[in-house]
Homo-oligomer: A and B are copies of this chain.
C-alpha cells in the first residue's frame, strides 16, 4: 500500500515533466495515505531524471518530514493545508505550466468556455486574492494553502479541482496523484484556450448552464461517482 503510493507519487512527478507542465525543477506532486495520516511528496532539489520511489519524502499532516534522508519540497506546507482543508482529495500537484501561470499572473479566473473545461471543472476556475504583507511574512507557504482554502469556502474542491494563485501559478488536485496530474494537464489546456479567447475578446461568453451540466454531470453527477465515468 505504502509502496504503491510511493510509486504513484513518483509517477505523478515524472508525468508533470512528460506532459510539459514544468520548466527546470519548478513543480511538485504529492499523495496522501489518509489511514496512516501520511503525505508523500517530492524531495527538494533532486533532478527529475534521478528521482526514485524511495526518494519520496514521508511527512505528517502538519507538514513535518518523518524521515531524515532528504528534505521535502519547499511547497510542502501548501500541500499539507490543502489535504487538511479538502478531505476528499488524495493528490496535489503544483506546476508552472505556461498558460495557467500566465492567467495566475494576470489574475484572470478561467470561465467555462468549452466542453473540455466542462468535462473536468464544474464552472469557473477561480483565482485567489493576493496575500497580505503579514501573510507573506509569516508562514508564507502555509498561507498559500489557506488562501486557496478560503477561495473554495463556497466551492466543492472536487467539482473544481484547480486554482490559480495570484501572481504565482496553478495548483491542481484529485482523488489520486494521477488524477491530480491529469487535472493539471487539463487546466493548462483550458487556460490556453481561455487566454487565446481573451486576446480576441476581453470578456468571452461562457457556454450555457445546460451544456456545462450535460458535460460535467455525465461523468460526475449524482448517478456517478467522481472519476468513474468513461472519459472520451
A contact set with B: CB distance below 8 Å: 23-26, 28, 44-45, 71, 73-75, 96, 98-99, 101-102, 104-108, 113-116, 130-133, 136-137, 140, 167-169, 182, 185-186, 189, 192-193, 195-202, 204-205, 207-211, 213-214, 230-232
13 A-B contact pairs sorted by A residue (CB < 8 Å): A23-B189, A44-B232, A45-B231, A71-B230, A96-B116, A106-B196, A106-B200, A106-B201, A108-B200, A130-B208, A133-B210, A136-B208, A136-B211
* Inter-chain contacts of A202 with B (CB < 8 A): 200
A105–B96 touching, CB < 8 Å: no
How distant is A154 from chain B, measured CB to nearest CB, in Å? Answer: 25
Task: Give CA–CA (A26, B75) in the complex, Å.
Answer: 32
A185 to B140, CA, bound (A): 26
Please, which residue of chain B has its CB at the minimum distance from the CB of A195?
B196
- Chain B nearest Cβ from A137, distance in angstroms: 7
Residue among A101, A114, A202 with most chain B CB within 10 A: A114
- Evaluate contact between A133 and B102: CB separation under 8 angstroms: no
Nearest-neighbour CB distance to chain B for A9, whole angstroms, equals: 16
B104 close to A114 (CB less than 8 A) = yes
Which residue of B has the minimal Cβ distance to A24? B185
Pairwise interchain contact A25-B231, C-beta atoms closer than 8 A: yes
Q: Given the known A-B contacts A28-B232, A75-B232, A231-B45, are A105 and B114 also in contact in the complex, defined by CB atoms under 8 Å? A: yes
Contact between A200 and B205 (Cβ–Cβ < 8 Å)? no
A38 to chain B, nearest CB (A): 21
Q: Is A106's CB under 8 angstroms from B136's CB?
A: no
The answer to whether A167 touches B133 (Cβ under 8 A) is: no
Known pairs A115-B167, A130-B211, A136-B208; list 9 more (Cβ under 8 Å): A24-B231, A101-B114, A102-B196, A106-B196, A113-B167, A114-B168, A115-B169, A130-B208, A198-B200
Query: In whole Å, how far is A169's beta carbon from the nearest beta carbon of chain B?
Result: 7
Task: Please state if A214 and B114 are interface contacts (CB–CB under 8 Å).
Answer: no
Smallest Cβ distance from A126 to chain B, in angstroms?
A: 17
Find out whether the CB atom of B197 lies under 8 angstroms from the CB atom of A106.
yes
